[in-house]
Amino acid sequence: MKEPEFIQARSGLGGNKAGTEKGPREIISRLEIDSSRIVENRLESTDKPGDAKNEEQIAEFCRELSDTVSKTIDEDKLPVILGGDHSISIGSINGAAENYPSLGVIWIDAHADFNTPETSPSSNIHGMPVATALGKGRLDWGDADLEEENIVMIGIRDTDEEEQENLEESDITVFRMEDVREKGIEKVLEETIDILSDVKSIHVSFDLDFLDAKKAPGVGTPVENGGTIDEVVKIIRRVSKESQLRSLDIVELNPTLDENGRTAEKAVELIRRSFLEIKPKKEV
């Protein structure tokens, strides 16, 4: 595995709860890492009613993040992007796709994030990154030239009605949380690797709300009956073992909603076990 380079993606304009912009700094401070790259959204929310809130600010931020990710890859390092709300993944994926054509994506999340400005009930862009990266809807600034069949979602358990209909009509592979429980993460992983067997490069996007809300309350949109850090670590290690991991997002930590740093510590544990080879803690 290449040496990880941590990128702080300090933006919270894609969601409806302030605080996710503080997530990257919280993770870095707990890791006690001296250096990391920072991409910061210095523009304030306009909070204008519309079909994609804060679109101009998020587009500008994602372009800067894309350039940072691409530069990190050019330096032969592994970008580990710390969010920030999930809209930052539009920039992460674009930066990776610029360097790796035919990029595959593994989306580990409670939500499919497959809305568009035309379908979203909330107008929050953190619910649109997958559709945007695929060139759907009108947010053409986020099109990363991905193929639907090269996207696998794991842990999905909360989708909007029209979003779900569009997802079912797509060629995206979806393992809902009940599939993970029924098959086990090892079987889901085997099927995922098989589905992406023709893909040489993979971006993994991990939303902390994949975890059960009782164990990781410090996220923007918590959902019960979620997964575990052990399962996420297995995914990242397997993709790394297959020499396909090219970039990784860890998003949606909101320290203002966290309880005694429990969710932040989950993010830190994931990083340590995946990249820093520190003995894993027992899941509680």
CATH code of residue 153: 3.40.800.10
Residue 44 lies in a domain: yes
Q: Is 203 a known active-site residue?
A: no
Q: Which residues on adjacent β-strands are paired with residue 80? A: 6, 248
Q: Which of 21, 26, 55, 86 is catalytic?
A: 86
Q: Model confidence over 183-234: pLDDT tens digits? A: 999 999 999 999 999 999 999 999 999 999 999 999 999 999 999 999 999 9
Catalytic residue among 126, 163, 203, 231: 126
Q: What is the mean pLDDT of residues 234-248?
A: 94
- Residue 270 to residue 12: CA distance in whole angstroms: 22
pLDDT at 284 over 80: no
In the set 5, 252, 258, 269, the catalytic residue is 252
pLDDT at 49 over 90: no
Domain assignment present for 272: yes
Q: How far apart are CA 51 and CA 53, in angstroms?
A: 6
Q: Are 123 and 139 in contact (CB under 8 A)?
A: no
Report the chain's C-alpha Rg in angstroms: 17
In this prediction, residues 5-21 reach a mean pLDDT of 94
Report residue 33's pLDDT band, with 50, 70 and 90 as the boundaries.
confident
Residue 86 appears among annotated catalytic residues: yes
Is residue 109 in some structural domain?
yes
pLDDT of 86 over the 80 cut: yes
For the full predicted model, state whether its pTM sits above 0.85: yes
pLDDT at 32: 86
C-alpha triplet 19, 84, 249: angle, nearest 5°: 150
**Predicted pLDDT of residue 283:** 47
In the set 55, 158, 207, 231, the catalytic residue is 207
Q: Are 74 and 99 in contact (CB under 8 A)?
A: yes
Q: Residue 182 and residue 25: Cα distance in Å, rounded?
A: 37
Q: 249 lies in which domain range? A: 4-276
Which residues, 6 or more positions from 25, have their beta carbon under 8 angstroms from its beta carbon? 8, 10
pLDDT tens by residue, 114-129? 999 999 999 999 999 9
Active-site entry in 109, 158, 258, 269: 109
Active-site hit among 113, 160, 249, 269:
113
| Distance from chain centroid for Cα 12 | 14
Please report whether residue 283 resides in a domain. Answer: no
Known catalytic residue: 109? Answer: yes
Token match 């023709």: residue?
Answer: 198
- Asked if the model's pLDDT at residue 282 lies above 80, the reply is no
**Number of independent structural domains in the chain:** 1
**Mean pLDDT score, 148-169:** 97
Measure the N-to-C terminal CA separation of the chain; round to a whole number of Å: 29
Annotated catalytic residue: which of 21, 55, 111, 160? Answer: 111
Whether 111 is catalytic is: yes
Q: Give the model's confidence band at 16: pLDDT under 50 very low, under 70 low, under 90 confident, else very high.
A: confident
Position 48 confidence tier, pLDDT thresholds 50, 70, 90: low
Say if 284 falls within a structural domain. no
Among residues 5, 21, 85, 209, the one annotated as catalytic is 209
- Mean pLDDT to the nearest integer, 246-252: 98
- Over 70: is that where the pLDDT of 10 sits? yes
